[in-house]
Amino acid sequence: MIKDITIGQYIPGETFVHKLDPRTKILISILFIVSLFIVDKFVGYILIVSFLVLTIYVSKLPPRYLYKGLKPVFFLIIFTAILNIFMIKGTTDTMVFELGFIKVYEDGLKTAAFMALRLIFLIMGTSALTLTTSPIELTDGIERLLKPIGKETAHELAMMMTIALRFIPTLMDETDKIMMAQKARGADFETGGIIQKAKSLIPLLVPLFISSFRRADELALAMEARAYRGGNGRTRMKQLKFTKRDIIAFSVFSILFIGSLIVRFAI
């Protein structure tokens, strides 16, 4: 399951989506997340699914990568849906199912479906962003978008967020290696109750923290060896520049966003 986490990974490519300015992709991703919570009718999700399918098709992303990104959170999605089904009564009081003290209402089913779809599309959308945008492009894009708060502050925030995002798959690989090594020494991470499984993670967490601090120290030394001085006087080999493809991409997404607003407030 650890290897299934795709957030933070990057797949090189020369597609239309890969060549978009990172600022365009970041802004579209933010507005895409907003549209997920604006939509409150199933017809609105047709627009969202259409945009996701178009993005995946144009970017030529293997669907298995997006599916792998969903696998680790299937339990969370199901658990959230179950909570909404049995705990939300709603305003219509339309009961769908009753078994003793267990009562399921129409509004509970509707809310559960919406929350499940939002989580699924949220993960797929953010995965599409990181899979088509390199860490360096993400850093430059976030820094330029945060520039109004101050050049140095924007650079530091962008660098911290990008490093954290980039090291997710690295730490997941490290965790998998440690788990395999501990299993070879007789550790059991599968059997037992919740408390037993939590205790069995102690031999995993200690070496993982040590490895994380070691990697952080190595990264700091590497940055100092390359005379890294943050955003002060820093130049870029590749300058960000909006092109026609960015206008086209933002125009296509604007149709989706306006459509979600119409579905929410006009229908």
Write out pLDDT tens, residues 150-179: 777 777 777 787 777 777 777 777 888 888
DSSP assignment letter at 105: E
For the question of whether the overall pTM of this predicted structure is more than 0.75, the answer is no
- The vertex-175 CA angle with 118 and 11, nearest 5°, equals 55
What pLDDT is recorded for position 4?
54
Q: For the chain, which residues make up each domain, given as ranges?
A: 2-169+238-265
Contacts of 142 (CB under 8 A, 6+ apart): 22, 26, 154, 157, 158, 161, 162
- Number of CB atoms found within 10 A of residue 196's CB: 11
DSSP assignment letter at 3: G
Write out pLDDT tens, residues 50-83: 888 888 899 888 887 777 777 777 888 888 888 8
Q: What is the DSSP string of 178-199?
A: HHHHHHHTT--SSSS-HHHHHH
What pLDDT is recorded for position 24?
92
What pLDDT is recorded for position 97?
67
Say if residue 101's pLDDT is above 70: no
DSSP assignment letter at 233: T
Q: Find out whether 111 and 96 touch, Cβ atoms under 8 Å.
A: no
Write out pLDDT tens, residues 106-140: 777 888 888 888 888 888 888 888 888 887 788 78
Give dist(CA 132, CA 126) in Å, integer.
10
Residue 6 — pLDDT band, cuts 50, 70, 90?
Answer: low
96: helix, coil or strand?
Answer: strand
Write out pLDDT tens, residues 207-266: 888 888 888 888 888 888 877 776 666 666 677 888 899 999 989 888 888 888 888 777
Give dist(CA 78, CA 82) in Å, integer.
6
